Amino acid sequence: MTATSNVTTEPVLRRSSGATALRRGLQDWLPRIVLAPSFAVIILFVYGFIVFTAYLSMTSSTLLPRFDFIGLENYVKLFKLPNWWIALKNLAIFGSLYIGICCALGLFLAILLDQKIRGEGILRPIYLYPMALSFIVTGTAWKWFLDPGIGLDQTMHALGWASFHFDWIKNRDMAIYTVVIAAVWQSSGFVMAMFLAGLRGIDTEIMRAAAIDGAGPWQLYRRIIIPMLRPAFLSAFVVLAHMAIKSYDLVIALTNGGPGRATEVPATFMYSYTFTRSQMAIGAASAVIMLMMVASIIVPYLYSELSAERQQ
Amino acid sequence: MSAGGEGVRLGAGSPFWRAVLYAVLLVFAVYYLLPLVIMLLNSVKPLSEIRGGNLLALPKVWTFEPWHSAWSTAQVGVQATGLKPYFINSFLMVFPAVAISAALGAINGYILTKWRFKGDSIVFGMMLFSCFIPFQIVLIPMAKVLGTIGLAGTVSGLVMVHVVYGIGFTTLFFRNYYAAFPTELIRSAQVDGAGFFRIFWRILLPSSGPIIVVSIIWQFTNIWNDFLFGASFADFDSQPMTVALNNLVQSSTGVKEYNVHFAGAVLAALPTLVVYIVSGRYFVRGLMAGAVKG
């Protein structure tokens, strides 16, 4: 999902002979001319729009955009809103559990699958297929599965476990954890695949040397293999963290932000303040904060990936 | 990536531990399959059986009425059209958006690796970052722009949005793929007088099969599964499948027809699931594109 291969590219190619100066000039500029529309689109629709939204967040826009500059007032307001704090708190709970459980489960499954398993070719795609589904589909499935009226609760009762009780999705204090359950189901297989690729990439010489030194398999994993998976951990963290900050669809489909505001996250906050509560400037301010959160994770990562590539 | 090679064996490979290992792996296979099985089982059950409890039971009476209803008669939003028109909308949106963004990504990747110029890594870095922005940051200006150019609430508008925010990923895919392509081949073609486009058509594109598949699958899955743009920029006639499914499920009027919801969810999942089953290998490659350095 992210940057870079580790192959260095050659410098610009130039014709050494046989062309007229004009033709050479055109050939030199042609690539840049062809690339220009894409780059212009990115400049306008990504960076231009970021500037626009950032500016809107410093105006008094409500239902429609207004362009009077009022400074950082909206940010002060935003951080006084209890709903925004609920959203941030939920993101913290959801994000840390989502990342933590996905990594733990992903690593666990990857290690198990790396034991020369017969049928790996069947198991791996089964673990990974949820990643191909829309979060709306995942949300719908888990919404009814966790619904105390028809889902797990009823099913357990029907199977004879009368005292079974699971109503987190309707419980204000617990609903955010149901978002974690569904999101982990969707993404953990992907993390497994990342770790599995990492495990397969480890130099077997190192393992053999350690094994000869008398390290048992558990020690080998704890002391040598898992530390060597650091790059995979980093990639998994970056990918999951930015997905967590952006999560919107799943919350909408699973709980629609409820019960009450119990599963409000920044993405749902932004949408409802901008489009249904007509507080566009506050919505814009929350979008800027979301962008800053994502950028603080993604930019250092991309920067280090791209410069590592250049050094190779 | 053959299975294991010299991988370390836990539990010294004793039969007992091997049995435990397989049991654990199977339990997780069940865990991942369960929601899909529940959706399928309950999409062919009468509503009364679902209300009676036990989502895991096989249907006593098999019925395909929920599928029929989800497809063509269920109330989605205000109209009782079923999901069919929205299913078609999604395809009308996905095909052009995938084709255009993949084509642009291919040519961009070619330029960024084989026709490098001063500042090209900044250009690439800026395109790359655009893949990760939270799209909330562009919703307000994009709504305004779509309104201004007359594409608000249309499928064409959604195509445009998905192309714009898909270029980053497709460029990344092709750039990384072409970076490994031997530059000598291009140099000698140049000596033979081949120009910028001819080299691309005759030399790079014919050997780009795998990365074209990866890009198409990635874009197809992402755009089909998109909800935020569809919910923000489409009106009732141009809504994609995900938005329609959500409307169907969240609709608070009348009886909650769980079996119809499940059938609708499977319908919405079907295209990406089929793509995944047919070419999962490429899907995984897209997911991983460079995220892991070996």
Contact A136 B268 (CB under 8 A): yes
- The pLDDT of residue A138 is above 70: yes
Residue B290 has its nearest CB partner, among A4, A158, A200, at A4
Boundaries of domain holding A251: 78-311
Widest Cα–Cα separation across chain B:
76
Read off the pLDDT band of B8 (50, 70, 90).
Answer: low
Distance between CA atoms of residues A16 and A14, nearest Å: 6
Q: What is the pLDDT of residues A230-265, one digit of tens each?
A: 888 998 999 999 999 999 999 999 998 878 888 999
Q: What is the pLDDT of residues A85-103, one digit of tens each?
A: 999 999 999 999 999 999 9
CATH among 1.10.600.10, 3.90.1150.10, 2.60.40.420, 1.10.3720.10 for B84-288? 1.10.3720.10
Q: Give the other-Cβ count within 10 Å of B278's Cβ.
A: 11
Partners of residue A225 in chain B, C-beta under 8 Å: 8
> Are the beta carbons of A191 and A105 closer than 8 angstroms?
yes
What average pLDDT does range B147-167 have in this prediction?
A: 94
Q: Considering the domain boundaries, does residue A29 fall inside one?
A: no
Q: What is the pLDDT of residues A167-210, one digit of tens each?
A: 888 888 889 999 999 999 999 999 999 999 888 888 878 777 87
Distance between CA atoms of residues A110 and B292, nearest Å: 14
Q: What is the pLDDT of residues B18-73, one digit of tens each?
A: 899 999 999 999 999 999 999 999 899 888 888 877 888 888 888 888 899 889 88
For B15, the token pair is 């039969």
Read off the pLDDT band of A8 (50, 70, 90).
Answer: very low
- The pLDDT of residue B209 is above 90: no
Predicted local confidence at residue A285, as pLDDT: 95
Long-range contacts of B141-148 (CB under 8 A, 24+ apart): B141/A48, B141/A49, B141/A52, B141/A53, B142/A45, B142/A49, B142/B232, B142/B233, B143/B232, B143/B233, B144/A65, B145/A45, B146/B233
Read off the pLDDT band of A9 (50, 70, 90).
Answer: very low
Burial (CB count within 10 angstroms: exposed 0-12, middle 13-18, buried 19+), residue A230: exposed
What average pLDDT does range A6-26 have in this prediction?
A: 51
Instruction: Write out chain A in H/E/C secondary structure.
Output: CCCCCCCCCCCCCCCCCCCCHHHHHHHHHHHHHHHHHHHHHHHHHHHHHHHHHHHHCCCCCCCCCCCCCCCCHHHHHHCCCHHHHHHHHHHHHHHHHHHHHHHHHHHHHHHHHCCCCCCHHHHHHHHHHHHHCCHHHHHHHHHHHCCCCCCHHHHHHHCCCCCCCCCHHHCCCCHHHHHHHHHHHHHHHHHHHHHHHHHHCCCHHHHHHHHHCCCCHHHHHHHHHHHHCHHHHHHHHHHHHHHHHHCCHHHHHHCCCCCCCCCCCHHHHHHHHHHHCCCHHHHHHHHHHHHHHHHHHHHHHHHHHHHHHHHC
Phi, psi angles (nearest 5°) of residue B21: -55, -50
Q: Is the peptide bond before A259 cis (omega within 30 degrees of 0)?
A: yes
Interface membership of A298 toward B (CB under 8 Å):
yes
- The pLDDT of residue A15 is above 70: no
- Which of the pair, B78 or A35, is modelled with greater confidence? A35
With a pLDDT cut of 70, the percent of chain A lying above it is 92
With a pLDDT cut of 90, the percent of chain B lying above it is 50
Test the B interface: residue of A7, A30, A49 with most B CBs within 10 Å: A49
What average pLDDT does range B243-265 have in this prediction?
A: 86
- The pLDDT of residue B144 is above 60: yes
The total number of structural domains that make up chain A: 1
- Around A143, how many Cα atoms within 13 Å sit in the side-chain half-sphere? 25
What average pLDDT does range B75-94 have in this prediction?
A: 88
- The pLDDT of residue A6 is above 50: no
Partners of residue B179 in chain A, C-beta under 8 Å: 5, 7-9
- The pLDDT of residue A311 is above 80: no
Predicted local confidence at residue B5, as pLDDT: 43
Distance between CA atoms of residues A194 and B290, nearest Å: 10
Partners of residue A63 in chain B, C-beta under 8 Å: none
Distance between CA atoms of residues A179 and A187, nearest Å: 12
| Averaged pLDDT of chain A | 86
What average pLDDT does range B236-258 have in this prediction?
A: 86
- Indicate the DSSP class of residue B205: G
Partners of residue B4 in chain A, C-beta under 8 Å: 114-116
- Mark residue A7 as left, alpha or beta (left: phi above 0; alpha: psi -120 to 50; beta: remaining): beta
Residue A270: give its domain's CATH number: 1.10.3720.10
What average pLDDT does range B144-159 have in this prediction?
A: 93
Contact B291 A239 (CB under 8 A): yes
Q: What is the pLDDT of residues A76-87, one digit of tens each?
A: 999 999 999 999
Q: Quick check: helix, strand or coil at residue B83?
A: coil
Contact B130 A42 (CB under 8 A): yes
Predicted local confidence at residue A21, as pLDDT: 64
What average pLDDT does range B221-227 have in this prediction?
A: 94
B76 beta partners = B79
Q: Considering the domain boundaries, does residue A94 fall inside one?
A: yes
Predicted local confidence at residue B7, as pLDDT: 53
Q: How far is B164 from chain A (nearest CA, A)?
A: 7
What average pLDDT does range A277-295 have in this prediction?
A: 94
Q: Where are the domains of chain B?
A: 14-63, 84-288
Distance between CA atoms of residues A209 and A207, nearest Å: 5
Burial (CB count within 10 angstroms: exposed 0-12, middle 13-18, buried 19+), residue A258: middle
